Structure formats: structure tokens, C-alpha cells
Amino acid sequence: MTRVAVVTGAGSGIGRVVARTLLDDGWSVALAGRRPEPLRDTADGHPEALAVPTDVADPAAVDALFAAVRERWGRVDLLFNNAGGFGPAGTPDEIDVDAWRATVDVNLTGSFLCARAAFAAMRAQEPQGGRIINNGSISAHAPRPGSIAYTTTKHAITGLTKSISLDGRAFGIACGQIDIGNAATDMTAGIAAGARQADGSVRPEPTFDARHVGEAVRHMANLPLGANVGSLTITATAMPFVGRG
């Protein structure tokens, strides 16, 4: 049976890596993101890739995405809820309210809207069920200085994950979260050059190959629905996360 995945934020970074990993593993994958050209680059002509330009903060666009997936393949087996951004940087008094709301709209409300649509599809289809994997962050555990908007949304993703995991039990819907620290992507390129630490200093931090994130998501995705990885943390081994540096 065809295994069908939806990957948001698939035009670059972690989303692109995960989408290509799933395609290589035999999944059919809908690629969602705001810009058509990067989605086509991710698809790279793969016959089982479907590029669907989508603003995840727009309920109508999310509904259209999942309608396109069901029209193409008839079901949804996996959602990798990945779209998001760092948002504004600064101390709380320096954060523009509109920039705060824009970050919440994409990182949190967008994740909810996609999870909502995936949950509805998984509940209604036969055979019933599926899996949702939310991309949290190391910031779901510990913030960086000046990251209140991003950090708040990523803490909220943990609540989203736990609630979906509980509510999905009756319908064979599993939900887990992957928290990633310092995977090497365009979005995190500055970390290797120098990242601000809790003491205010700026120091380079180690990174790791993002393909290992793809492998971790593939492992979570390929579990039978009777088993679930509720939370998985993957980091560069020596990043300053565990302990005091």
C-alpha cells in the first residue's frame, strides 16, 4: 500500500532533507511551503513528489493542501509538521507585537492547522490512523537569549504534541516530537560562526549533518502505529545544551 506523507517547510533546510529521505524510502510525499520554486527543487522531478505552495498560517490554504493530497493519493499516513522561523530577536520590551504575532501564526497556529487537517483525514480514512511528527527544537527545553517569540512557540509545540498524542489514541493516530539542536542548514549557518550564549558572550558552536535528522524522522515514521517515539532529541554532541556549557 502507498505510504503518503505531508512535509511542511519542504522548500529548504530540515524540511527538504526529511522530504527527500522519505521519497528515497518509498514514500509518496506532498511538499508544502510558501515558494513554488524551492518546492520544485526539493522534488527534483521525483514522480511521487507533489509540490503544493501553502501558507500554513492560512486555514483555507491548509485545507486546500490536504484536499490535494487526498485527491492524488486518497489518504494521509504521516504529517511532518516542520514549517517555522526564528522570528524577531531581542529582549521582551524590544519585540514588535506584529512580529510576535507573525511568529505565533506560522510556528504555532500553522502547526495546529496542519495537525487539525491531518487528524481529520486520518480519523476518517480506511484503514484508520496515521502519525504526526512535530518539529520542536532545543528551544522547547531551553532558550537562547533574545528568542522569546521562537522559544514560546516551541514550548507550545510540546503541548500540542502531548494533546494530539492523547486525543489520537482512540483513532490509531500516533504523535511524537523531534527536538533538533544545531543541524547544519542555511537557517542555522550563523551558529557555526558564533552564537550568543547565556552569559552574553558569542562563541562558535558545533553542528552536525542534517541528513541524520532525516534518518531519525524516517525511523519514527516507519514504526507500526502501535509504537510511538513521544520525544526524540538529536543534537551536535558537543553543543552547549546539557549542563552548563
Per-residue confidence band for 245, with pLDDT thresholds at 50, 70 and 90: low
- DSSP state at residue 229: -
Percent with pLDDT over 70 in the chain: 98
Q: How far apart are CA 223 and CA 221, in angstroms?
A: 6
Residues with active-site annotation: 150
Q: Which of 31, 29, 24 is nearest to 3 (CA)?
A: 29
Q: Is the pLDDT score of 186 beyond 90?
A: no
Output the pLDDT for position 198.
Answer: 77
Beta bridge partners of 90: 147
Q: Is the pLDDT score of 55 beyond 80?
A: yes
Q: What is the mean pLDDT of residues 62-77?
A: 98
Q: Is the pLDDT score of 163 beyond 80?
A: yes
One-character DSSP codes across 187-209: GGHHHHH-EE-TTS-EE----EE
C-alpha cell, 60:
483555507
Output the pLDDT for position 105.
Answer: 98
Q: What is the mean pLDDT of residues 155-173?
A: 98
List all residues 6 or more positions away from 190 whose beta carbon is below 8 Å from its beta carbon.
none
CB 132 within 8 A of CB 119: yes
Q: Is the pLDDT score of 195 beyond 80?
A: no
Sign of the Cα torsion 66, 73, 34, 9 reads positive
Q: Is the pLDDT score of 102 beyond 90?
A: yes
Q: Is the pLDDT score of 240 beyond 90?
A: no
List all residues 6 or more positions away from 93 whose beta carbon is below 8 Å from its beta carbon.
none
Q: How far apart are CA 119 and CA 171, in angstroms?
A: 9
CB 216 within 8 A of CB 208: no
Please state, rounded to an integer, the average pLDDT across all residues of the chain. Answer: 94
The pTM of this model reads 0.94
Q: How far apart are CA 190 and CA 184, in angstroms?
A: 10
How many C-beta neighbours within 10 Å does residue 30 have?
Answer: 27
